[in-house]
Chain A
Amino acid sequence: MAGVAATAAAVRAGARRARDVVDEHLRAIGAREGEIHAFNTVLADEARAAADAVDETVAAGRDPGPLAGVTVALKDNMCTRGIPTTCSSRILDGWRPPYDATVVVRLRAAGAVIVGKTNLDEFAMGSSTENSAFGPTRNPHDPSRVPGGSSGGSAAAVAAGFAAVGLGSDTGGSIRQPAALCGVVGVKPTYGRVSRYGLIAFASSLDQIGPFTHTVADAALVTEVLAGHDPADSTSIPKPAPALLDGLDDGVDGLRVGRITDLPSGADPDVLERVDVAFAALERAGATIVDVTCPAFTYGLTAYYLIAPAEASSNLARYDGVRYGLRVEAADTNAMYMATRSAGFGDEVKRRIMLGTYALSAGYYEAYYGKALKVRRMIADDFAAAYTQADVLLTPTSPTVAFPIGDKTENPMAMYLCDTYTIPSNLSGDPAISVPFGTGAADLPVGVQVLAPALAEPLMFKVARALEANTS
Chain B
Amino acid sequence: MSERITVDEVVHVAKLARLALTPEQLEAMTAQLDAVLEHFADIDELDLSGVEPMTQPVPLTNVLRDDVVVAGLDRDEVLAAAPDVVDGRFRVPPILGLAE
Instruction: Report which A residues bind B (CB closer than 8 A).
Output: 95-99, 191-192, 205, 231, 234-235, 237-238, 298-299, 301-303, 305-306, 313, 317, 320-327, 329-339, 341-342, 345, 350-351, 353-355, 357-358, 361, 368, 370-378, 380, 412-413, 416, 427-430, 454
Interface CB pairs A-B, < 8 A, 8: A299-B46, A327-B83, A332-B96, A334-B99, A335-B99, A372-B43, A375-B48, A430-B57
B86, CB-defined interface residue at 8 Å: no
Q: A336-B92, A341-B17 are in contact. List 5 more A-B contacts (CB 8 A).
A: A99-B73, A191-B56, A335-B99, A361-B16, A371-B43
Interface size class of B (residues with CB under 8 A): 35 or more
Most chain A CB inside 10 Å of its own CB: which residue of B43, B46, B96: B43
Please measure, in the bound complex, the distance between the C-alpha atom of A231 and the C-alpha atom of B70, giving whole angstroms. Answer: 12
B10, CB-defined interface residue at 8 Å: yes
Q: Which residues of A are found within 8 Å of B87, using beta-carbon distances?
A: none
Cβ A322 vs Cβ B82 within 8 A: yes
B7, CB-defined interface residue at 8 Å: no
Q: Give per-residue flags for B12-52: 1 if the beta carbon is below 8 A from chain A beta carbons, else 0.
A: 11101111110000000100110110011011101010011
B3, CB-defined interface residue at 8 Å: no
Q: Contact check: which of B13, B55, B65 meets A354 at CB < 8 Å? A: B13
Cβ A413 vs Cβ B57 within 8 A: no
Q: Which residues of A are found within 8 Å of B29, using beta-carbon distances?
A: 350-351, 354
Q: Which residues of A are found within 8 Å of B82, using beta-carbon distances?
A: 322-324
Cβ A371 vs Cβ B54 within 8 A: no
Q: Contact check: which of B58, B73, B81, B94 meets A191 at CB < 8 Å? A: B58
Cβ B58 vs Cβ A235 within 8 A: yes
Most chain B CB inside 10 Å of its own CB: which residue of A231, A327, A334, A429: A334
Cβ A338 vs Cβ B92 within 8 A: no
Cβ B93 vs Cβ A331 within 8 A: yes
Instruction: Say how far A147's CB is from chain B's closest CB, in angstroms.
Output: 24
Please measure, in the bound complex, the distance between the C-alpha atom of A80 and the C-alpha atom of B84, giving whole angstroms. Answer: 22
Cβ A374 vs Cβ B48 within 8 A: yes
Q: Give per-residue flags for B62-77: 1 if the beta carbon is below 8 A from chain A beta carbons, else 0.
A: 0101000000011001
Most chain A CB inside 10 Å of its own CB: which residue of B60, B78, B81: B81
Cβ B43 vs Cβ A376 within 8 A: no
B88, CB-defined interface residue at 8 Å: no
B1, CB-defined interface residue at 8 Å: no
Q: Which residues of B are found within 8 Å of A338, using beta-carbon distances?
A: 18-20
Please measure, in the bound complex, the distance between the C-alpha atom of A231 and the C-alpha atom of B35, giving whole angstroms. Answer: 42
Please measure, in the bound complex, the distance between the C-alpha atom of A378 and the C-alpha atom of B33, giving whole angstroms. Answer: 25
Cβ A305 vs Cβ B36 within 8 A: yes
Cβ B48 vs Cβ A371 within 8 A: yes
Known: A235-B56, A332-B97, A351-B32. A374 touches B51 (CB 8 A): yes
Q: Which residues of B are found within 8 Å of A370, using beta-carbon distances?
A: 53
Cβ A98 vs Cβ B74 within 8 A: yes
Cβ A299 vs Cβ B95 within 8 A: no
B100, CB-defined interface residue at 8 Å: yes
Instruction: Say how far B54's CB is from chain A's closest CB, in angstroms.
Output: 4
Q: Contact check: which of B19, B43, B57 meets A345 at CB < 8 Å? A: B19
Q: Contact check: which of A192, A301, A303, A321 meets B58 at CB < 8 Å? A: A192
Known: A323-B81, A354-B13. A413 touches B39 (CB 8 A): yes
Cβ A377 vs Cβ B73 within 8 A: no
Known: A306-B40, A331-B93. A375 touches B33 (CB 8 A): no
Please measure, in the bound complex, the distance between the C-alpha atom of A427 and the C-alpha atom of B83, giving whole angstroms. Answer: 37
Instruction: Say how far A456's CB is from chain B's closest CB, in angstroms.
Output: 14
Q: Contact check: which of A98, A302, A326, A339 meets B43 at CB < 8 Å? A: A302
Please measure, in the bound complex, the distance between the C-alpha atom of A427 and the C-alpha atom of B53, giving whole angstroms. Answer: 12
Known: A205-B56, A357-B17. A412 touches B78 (CB 8 A): no
Nearest 9 Cβ contacts at the A-B interface? A429-B57, A373-B53, A327-B83, A332-B98, A377-B54, A374-B51, A234-B63, A191-B57, A98-B77
Q: Which residues of B are found within 8 Å of A412, using beta-carbon distances?
A: 32, 35-36
Q: Which residues of B are found within 8 Å of A325, using beta-carbon distances?
A: 81, 83
Cβ A355 vs Cβ B20 within 8 A: no
Which residue of chain B has the shortest Cβ distance to A298 in the bound complex? B42
Q: Which residues of B are found within 8 Å of A427, using beta-carbon distances?
A: 54, 57
Instruction: Say how far B3's CB is from chain A's closest CB, in angstroms.
Output: 14
Instruction: Say how far B2's CB is from chain A's closest CB, in angstroms.
Output: 14
Q: Which residues of B are found within 8 Å of A334, using beta-carbon distances?
A: 18, 95, 99-100
Known: A323-B82, A413-B39. A331 touches B94 (CB 8 A): yes
Cβ B83 vs Cβ A321 within 8 A: yes
Please measure, in the bound complex, the distance between the C-alpha atom of A334 and the C-alpha atom of B96, giving whole angstroms. Answer: 9
Cβ A354 vs Cβ B58 within 8 A: no
